[in-house]
Structure 1
C-alpha cells in the first residue's frame, strides 16, 4: 500500500518537475544589443550585430544563474559605414588588438519583479565591475531577458587622443539589450 501512495504522489507532482527548465541557448537572430550615445549634442543609435556566449538560467533558481557574453566589436553598426570604420581604429575600440568586448556574471539576485545582475565588463583589455537591473519573460520554450545600463567610455579608454574629451562625443553610452534564450 505504501508503494501505491508514493507512486501516486510522484505522479501528482511530476508536472511541477517537468515545468522546471533551464534556459541555456542564446537565440542571436531574435536578440538585440543596442546602444545610444550623443555626438555634438545629437542622440545617435547603434547596435552590435553579433554575440556569442554561455548561459545557464533556471527561473526557479535564478541566483544560480551564470552568463558569459562575447561581442565582436568589428560587427558594430553605428548607423554609417564611415562611423563603423572609425570606431574600429586604435583611438576607439582598437579591434586589431581587442577584437571583442565581454561580460561575465558574478551574481544574480531576485530584485522585486526582476533581477539584479552583477558582473565584469571588459572592453579594450580593461575590466570593470558593473551592476544593472534585468527582467525575464518566459514564453513557452523561449524567454527574453531585457535590461539597460550606462557605460562611461572613458573608463575603458574608448576614444583616446583627441577623442578623450567629452565635448564632441559624450562619455555616457547607454546600452540596452533584448536577448532571447531557449531551453
Structure 2
C-alpha cells in the first residue's frame, strides 16, 4: 500500500512541476487603494511589497500568490494623512498580507475569479474578486480589482474634525507585471 501511495504521489509530480514562478517587476506594477472621504477622494499606492506568484503555464492561471506589505509603504501623496493612517492602525509598524486560496471561472460571466485571505489589523477575512491574465512570451500581466470594508478588519470608522469621514468601503486595484522564471 505504501508503494502505491508513493507511485500515486510521483504521478502527480509532473502536474505540480508545470507551475512556474512569476518574478514581479515592481517598477512596472502597481497596487493601489481608492478611498472616498467627505468632499474628496484619494488613492494610496503601495511603494514596496514582497510577493510570491506561481502559475500553471498551460492555463495561465495562478496556482499560488502571497503578498506582504508594511502600511508605512502605502503612500497617499499627503504625509500627514499617511502618518494618521499608521496611528489609526494602532501605531508601530502595522503589516498586511494576502494569501491566495483558489481560482474559478464564472460560467455565466466568463470571468475568472480568485479567492484568498486578506489580513489587516490581525484580522483575516476571505475576499474574492475578478482578475485577468495576459501573457506575451515569458511576460505576464495580471489585473484585478477587489472591494473591501476596513470595518470588517476590526478598524473604527475614520472621522476627523467631526465632519470628515472616510467611507469604510475601499477599492483595491492591482496591475502586476512579471517574467516567468
| 1:143 and 2:130 correspond | no
Q: CA deviation at 1:150?
A: 1.0
Q: Which residue of 1 aligns with 2:171?
A: 174
* Residue 95 of structure 1: how far off its partner (Å): 4.8
Q: TM-score, normalised by structure 1?
A: 0.77
More helix, by proportion: 1
2:89 paired residue number: 93
Alpha-carbon separation, structure 1, partners of 2:62 and 2:77: 37
CA distance in 2, matches of 1:149, 1:167: 24
Query: Do residues 38 (structure 1) and 36 (structure 2) align?
Result: yes
Which runs of 5 or more structure 2 residues have no equivalent in the other structure? 1-17
Residues 172 and 75 of structure 1: is their aligned pair in 2 closer, same or farther, counting only changes over 3 Å?
A: same
Structure 1 residue 166, shift from structure 2 partner: 10
Contact 1:57 1:66 in 2 (8 A): yes
| Count of aligned pairs between the two proteins | 160
Larger Rg: 1 or 2? 1
Pick aligned residue for 1:109 from 75, 79, 104: 104
Q: Is the 8 A contact 2:60 2:135 kept in 1?
A: no
Q: Deviations over 1:116-166 (max 9, x none)?
A: 100100001000000000001112221111000111011113346857x99
After the TM superposition, which residues 157-168 of structure 1 pair with which residues of structure 2 at under 5 Å, given as runs?
A: 157-159=154-156, 168=165
In structure 1, runs of 5+ residues without a counterpart are: 1-19
The structure carrying a bigger strand percent of its residues is 2
The equivalent of 1:129 in structure 2 is 126
Give the stretch that moved more between structures: 72-81 or 60-69. 60-69
What RMSD over aligned residues (CA atoms) do the two structures have, in Å?
2.5
